[in-house]
Amino acid sequence: MGTANPAVLEAWHRANGDIVVVDIAVNLQDVMARLRGERAGNQSVTMAVSELVGQNIAEVERELILQTLERCRGNRTTAASMLGISVRTMRNKLRTFLSDGLVVPPGLIRH
């Protein structure tokens, strides 16, 4: 891997002034792990957990489920997979949230 050759970029620029070249670096293993719902490393999880010390587990679980669903654009199958739970468990948790009088954004639960 490397960066684009400046001579090549200059030749492209002279040929057509509308070309835009973006030079980025991507850690493909990290991207693929995130798409599979995996974490790149335990350090970020450890830091996040240290901020949760003293919090109510039920509230943390609810926020984790709802934020994961939001990130997955309401796709319960993907969110459940990321969280390591079944779709049935996801559905039951959402129903429990509603029966407890908690606000669940529309579109995240079907009646």
- CA 36, CA 81: separation in Å to the nearest integer? 8
Name which residue leads in pLDDT, 12 or 7: 7
In single-letter form, the type of residue at position 33 comes to: A
Q: What is the dihedral of CA 66, 70, 76, 80, to 10 degrees?
A: -60
Taking only the tens place, the pLDDT of each residue in 38-81 is 655 555 677 777 888 888 888 889 999 998 998 888 889 999 99
Residue 85 CB neighbours (<10 A): 15
pTM of the model: 0.56
Q: Which domains does the chain have, with CATH numbers?
A: 28-99 (1.10.10)
Taking only the tens place, the pLDDT of each residue in 11-27 is 766 766 566 666 667 77
Sign of CA dihedral 41, 89, 96, 71: positive
Sign of CA dihedral 54, 59, 65, 71: negative
DSSP designation for 55: S
Q: What is the pLDDT at residue 54?
A: 87
- Whole-angstrom CA distances from 46 to 1, 28, 41, 42 are 32, 23, 9, 6
